[in-house]
Amino acid sequence: MPKPPAGISDRDFQAALRDFEGIVGRDWLFRSDEDVALYKDGYSPLWGEPEERVASAAVAPNSVEQVQAIVKTASRYGLPLYPISTGRNLTYGGSAPTYSGSVVVDLKRLNRILDVSERDKTCLVEPGVSYFDLYRHLRTNKIKLWIDTADPGWGGLVGNSLDRGGGYTGHDFRDHFDAHCGMEVVLPSGEVVRTGMGANTHAKTWQLFKYGMGPWVDGIFSQSNFGIVTKMGFWLMEEPEAALQVSVTVPKRRDVVPLVDALHSLMCAHTIPSQTTVASPIMNGSSDAELVRLRGSGGASDADWDKYAAARNRPFWSSTFVYYGAKKVIAAQWEHTKDRLGGIAGVQFRETASYAFPLSDEQVEAVPDKARLGIPSLNLFGSRNSPDARPSEGHIDFSPMIAPHGEELIALGDVTGKIYADLGLTPSPVAGLVFHPRTMICFHAVPTFRNAADNQRTRKLFETLVRSCADHGWPIYRIHAAFQPLGMQMYGFNDGALHRLHETLKDAIDPNGVVSPGRYGIWPKKLRGSKA
């Protein structure tokens, strides 16, 4: 049987589990080794090592009242819980708890789509609702609204939003936390709070106006451990009349500077509505020795790089994005975009796909770049692994946020390329996604394995990337559970004042320390000494 967490007697642990069983029924308490193993993180960088994070049991409530009862029981015994929604937070810790021995509160049965308003373009869902679930609901009922899916589509809206994940469609939807409107939260006391207009019991605007009145608390429930969110509203995108996917290429390395400046400006003006990828086609799919040398050098010149690209007859940078809307507006926006980018010598414009909505099932199936049209899939699964990297069992994401400046993208590639090379590894391709309109997020898939020796190297690589990039002003926006204390250290202004504020909030809201101890480096008082 899995072990209870440190400091909880076996007697209390067994008593708590009996109480949980009483709350959810025998079928929904999981305590056998086989069942509990399912909550392991398949991508864990600590796989099989003593430090690997493992649960002691799992409990799956079916209602808000059951969540309340579970929290109150845990509080009585001081037993740590670890709530998950669909449990698919792969590359960031999956469904495994941050603190070993926690009981996973699996919210998969809270999977009701409580409301969808086509008129208001909103929904209200429980944490177990996946992108697939909501997409199916909209499509089955012919509701002309789009979702903004994470990759892959088996993730859940609530969990992804709370971890501040992102997507690919319109400006107002890609930042999944920003796209939420209204929450219901079970606090560690067991009390239920509704935020925003949800605190007015008559309001029809819970999913329309975020703030309500008084301090807006929603943000403290993201990337944290202050409560269990049981309902969340989201803004959805109205299906447009049409969409046009385009690509723009520029020939030289330094062309990324005017390219990104113009794209940023066009995104801020809503001329380009979708997420915009800026990647270097010459970086992909090659174990070319010269490429490896250039990338590992930590500062090869533009001339060297341009020579490399020219010899292969490929443009240095490629950007892809999508217009959504009325056909005549799209045509004007695309024309204006070409005007703005036309000054870059050698720029090339290409229309890669054009759509009129709604799509038939066959058309949906045939869309290559599904996420940009709000279609969830598993297509992107694993696609970020470089094809010439050695086989790995999984990966964890290293995603620094940089200013939307071409110089920054170049500098980041130099810095990370050298870090990989110094460790004898092939650098991950550098691509900037202009994710939120005002920052570029730069994904790197750091491979994880099922053996300790390889994982040790991975952890060294990951930690070096985190520290070096933070020193350059490029800290990351989200981090695997095993590295969350390290991640928060990179936000250390005034000797960690922000982190101390987080722990002040923790002590006030969760004095018994029952919800997700250690998540994003926030420990309850009783564990703080041993963990800090």
CA distances from 227 to 86, 318, 321, 347, 500 (A): 17, 43, 37, 50, 18
When binding is defined by CB under 8 A, the residue of 436, 444, 459, 480 that contacts a second copy is 436
When binding is defined by CB under 8 A, the residue of 20, 92, 221, 323 that contacts a second copy is 221
Using CB under 8 A, which residues numbered 9 to 68 contact a second copy?
Answer: none
Cβ at position 195, least distance to a second copy in Å: 7
Q: Mark residues 312-331: x for contact with a second copy by CB under 8 A, - for none.
A: ------------xxx-xx-x
What whole-number distance in Å separates Cα of residue 172 and Cα of residue 182?
15
When binding is defined by CB under 8 A, the residue of 94, 97, 152, 240 that contacts a second copy is 240
Which is nearer to a second copy, 187 or 452 (by Cβ)? 187
| Count of residues of this chain found to bind a second copy when the rule CB under 8 A is applied | 106
When binding is defined by CB under 8 A, the residue of 214, 343, 387, 529 that contacts a second copy is 214
Which is nearer to a second copy, 42 or 511 (by Cβ)? 511
Given its phi and psi angles, is residue 78 left (phi above 0), alpha (psi -120 to 50 degrees) or beta?
left
Which is nearer to a second copy, 126 or 218 (by Cβ)? 218
Using CB under 8 A, which residues numbered 152 to 191 contact a second copy?
Answer: 164, 170-172, 177, 181, 187, 191
Exposed/middle/buried for residue 304 (C-beta within 10 Å: 0-12, 13-18, 19+): middle
When binding is defined by CB under 8 A, the residue of 37, 211, 422, 450 that contacts a second copy is 211
Which is nearer to a second copy, 443 or 491 (by Cβ)? 491
Give the phi and the psi of residue 298 in degrees, each rounded to 5: 80, 10
When binding is defined by CB under 8 A, the residue of 223, 230, 392, 428 that contacts a second copy is 223
State both tokens at 262.
């113009």
When binding is defined by CB under 8 A, the residue of 114, 136, 216, 532 that contacts a second copy is 216
Known catalytic residue: 478? yes
Note every long-range contact of 449-456, with CB atoms under 8 Å and residues 24 or more positions apart, other chains counting: 449/47, 449/392, 449/393, 449/394, 450/47, 450/48, 450/393, 451/47, 451/48, 452/47, 452/48, 452/49, 454/392, 455/45, 455/46, 455/47, 455/49
Cβ at position 498, least distance to a second copy in Å: 4
Which is nearer to a second copy, 40 or 336 (by Cβ)? 336
Cβ at position 261, least distance to a second copy in Å: 7
Known catalytic residue: 92? yes
- Give me the catalytic one of 194, 477, 519, 520: 477
What's the one-letter identity of residue 441? I
- Give me the catalytic one of 92, 99, 324, 420: 92
Question: Is 532 an interacting residue with respect to a second copy (CB under 8 A)?
Answer: no
When binding is defined by CB under 8 A, the residue of 205, 247, 286, 297 that contacts a second copy is 205
Which is nearer to a second copy, 259 or 402 (by Cβ)? 402
- Give me the catalytic one of 53, 88, 295, 478: 478
Using CB under 8 A, which residues numbered 76 to 115 contact a second copy?
Answer: none
Which of 143, 185, 151, 144 shows the shortest CA–CA distance to 168?
151
Question: Is 242 an interacting residue with respect to a second copy (CB under 8 A)?
Answer: no
Using CB under 8 A, which residues numbered 468 to 497 contact a second copy?
Answer: 470-479, 487-488, 490-494, 497
Which is nearer to a second copy, 264 or 370 (by Cβ)? 264
Cβ at position 82, least distance to a second copy in Å: 17
Using CB under 8 A, which residues numbered 443 to 472 contact a second copy?
Answer: 470-472
Known catalytic residue: 491? no
Distance of CA 252 to the CA centre of its chain: 32
Note every long-range contact of 194-201, with CB atoms under 8 Å and residues 24 or more positions apart, other chains counting: 194/231, 198/233
Cβ neighbours for 327, distance < 8 A, ≥ 6 positions apart: 241, 242
When binding is defined by CB under 8 A, the residue of 7, 22, 219, 299 that contacts a second copy is 219
In what order do the strands lie in the sheet containing 81-84?
29-30, 57-59, 103-106, 81-84
CA distances from 359 to 205, 214, 366, 373 (A): 31, 44, 10, 10
Which is nearer to a second copy, 57 or 442 (by Cβ)? 442
Question: What does the DSSP assignment read for 318-382?
Answer: EEEEEEEE-HHHHHHHHHHHHHHHTTSTT-EEEEEEEEESSPPHHHHHH-SSGGGGT---STTTT
Cβ at position 113, least distance to a second copy in Å: 19
Which of 323, 326, 328 shows the shortest CA–CA distance to 372?
323
The stretch among 9-17, 74-82, 260-268, 299-307 that binds a second copy (CB under 8 A) is: 260-268
CB of 225 closer than 8 Å to CB of 517: yes
Exposed/middle/buried for residue 527 (C-beta within 10 Å: 0-12, 13-18, 19+): middle
When binding is defined by CB under 8 A, the residue of 376, 397, 499, 512 that contacts a second copy is 499
Cβ at position 334, least distance to a second copy in Å: 10
Question: Is 404 an interacting residue with respect to a second copy (CB under 8 A)?
Answer: yes
Question: Is 194 an interacting residue with respect to a second copy (CB under 8 A)?
Answer: yes
Question: Is 217 an interacting residue with respect to a second copy (CB under 8 A)?
Answer: yes
Angle among Cα 402, 272, 172 to the nearest 5 degrees reads 75
Cβ neighbours for 262, distance < 8 A, ≥ 6 positions apart: 340, 341
Cβ at position 400, least distance to a second copy in Å: 10
State both tokens at 162.
């709370």
Using CB under 8 A, which residues numbered 338 to 367 contact a second copy?
Answer: 339
Which of 468, 413, 415 shows the shortest CA–CA distance to 442?
413
Enumerate the active-site residues: 92, 477-478
